[in-house]
A and B are shown apart, each in its own frame.
Chain A
Amino acid sequence: MSVVIPWLGQFAKGAVVVLGVALVALVLTIVWGLLGAAAKLSGNRIAGAIADAYTTVFRGTPELLVLLIIYFGSAVTLTWIGKQLDPSVRFINIPPFWAGAVAISLIVGAYATETFRGAFLGVERGQVEAARALGLSSSQTFFYVRLPQMWRLALPTFGNHMISIVKDTALLSVIGLEEIMYVAERGMTMTNKPFTMYAVVAVFYLAFVSLIIIAVARLEKRLNRHLVRAR
């Protein structure tokens, strides 16, 4: 175990990178999920079809492949655009941090789309009608009535999506992001202790996942506080 100690600083840095990517991806996941759910519920045929295609493709393609398409694909496109503007350009890419966050958010966003869609459908119609009867505008109805109630219903499943986001960050060493998996790879070649190195990575992920589980349980309790009976 002592072989790990000199690497702990690097691991800590890698852990900060993981948390950063996961946070950015979380925000984007919520955006894609809300957009996708809105499109599916809109009744608009074209929007619905696009959202259906999105969820089918991103839930049926390996995460690794999505990541590679986004990272290398965007590099090809950006380099091509760059060359049109300035022929001396060699290579342009999106930094792995951002490409990774976007890729992970698109994948998990497809699952979140279905979760949010179901949760919106779970909000009683009467609530929306009551809001309209009280004279709330449709955007007020959305933000004050539908969204908070949808969120309560979506949270347990969304907690699993958050865990997926964190676990998917392990793939990002493939595109050269210096997260904990990357540190372990380097540590392995320098110390010849692969098991120890990857066990440390596993412990980090278990810690992250445990924190999410605890946080979601607390949040659930808070969101359901109106359902607790008075003593």
Chain B
Amino acid sequence: MSFDVALILQSLPQILEGVGLTVQLHLISLAAGTLLAVGLALLRISPNPALSWPALVYIYVFRGTPMLVQVAIVYYGLAQFEMVRNSPLWPTLREPFWCAIIAFTLNVTAYTAEILRGGIQGVDRGLLEAGKSLGLSAWHRFTRITIPIAMRLSIPAYGNEMISLLKGTALASMITMYDVTGVARTIVSRTFAPYEIFISAALVYLALTWVIQQGVKFAERYFNRHLRK
């Protein structure tokens, strides 16, 4: 058995071409999911059960099912409904790219909402009381005290979520897309050299993970700068 280094060098440019798609899927669904998560987290912590219950159910369902199932439901499942097929959105919903984005976004939203909820509820009550006694309005207390501190508290878990989404984007290869994993699978089906190709692809993901980790470290340093001696 041989480990064909030449084949790696030869395939690497193709695998790297998949990086663009992987990064696109990651960034778009991360951005959309994070925005939606802010709203969902606010619903989740609402004292009104009519608001918090639907949020709770949403989070439970999306965290309790595999992302592959979610991708399959969006990509294959929606076509079952005539209403969807006749809708003006159908040309978009038929595209694997947008199906992947939709599924990933829905998934990230659930996880991130739960992270943000933890961050918001982790803010020391005393700080909010201090704000109140200084005469800050509820809006000011929320935007000037709760949000900055909650963000700082959420960073580590949010960093893990970014990495887990990056790994999740590999599922796009299951719905015919040529992201890093998709390209690697095509090359392997042609060359049957799983070690060389899949390990190269894994190294690409490890590099991307490293970039995210550095970003998280930087953000942590920035948000904790008041703690530095």
Contact = CB atoms under 8 A, between A and B. Distances in A.
A181 interface: yes
B76 interface: yes
Interface stretch (B27-35, B37-45, B58-66, B91-99): B58-66
A57 B166 CA distance: 14
B21 interface: no
Contacts of B73: 194-195, 198-199, 202
A128 interface: no
A77 B1 contact: yes
B68 A181 contact: yes
A195 B198 contact: no
Contacts of A171: 66, 68
Contact of A57 (B174, B184, B185, B206): B206
B145 to A, nearest CB: 29
Contacts of A210: 64
Interface in B65-85: 65-70, 72-73, 76-81
Contacts of A222: none
A60 interface: yes
Contacts of B79: 194
Question: Which of B60, B64, B166, B184 gathers most chain A CB within 10 Å?
Answer: B64
A49 B155 CA distance: 27
Interface SS majority for chain A: helix
Interface stretch (B6-14, B47-55, B128-136, B188-196): B188-196
B65 A202 contact: yes
Interface in A55-105: 56-57, 59-66, 68-69, 72-73, 75-77, 80
A149 interface: no
B170 A65 contact: yes
Given A195-B73, A205-B66, 11 more contacts: A57-B202, A60-B163, A62-B169, A64-B173, A68-B194, A72-B192, A76-B195, A181-B69, A194-B80, A206-B64, A206-B65
24 contacts: A59-B163, A61-B206, A62-B170, A62-B202, A62-B205, A64-B174, A68-B188, A69-B194, A72-B188, A76-B192, A76-B195, A181-B68, A181-B72, A188-B76, A194-B77, A195-B76, A195-B77, A195-B78, A195-B80, A196-B80, A198-B69, A202-B69, A202-B70, A202-B73
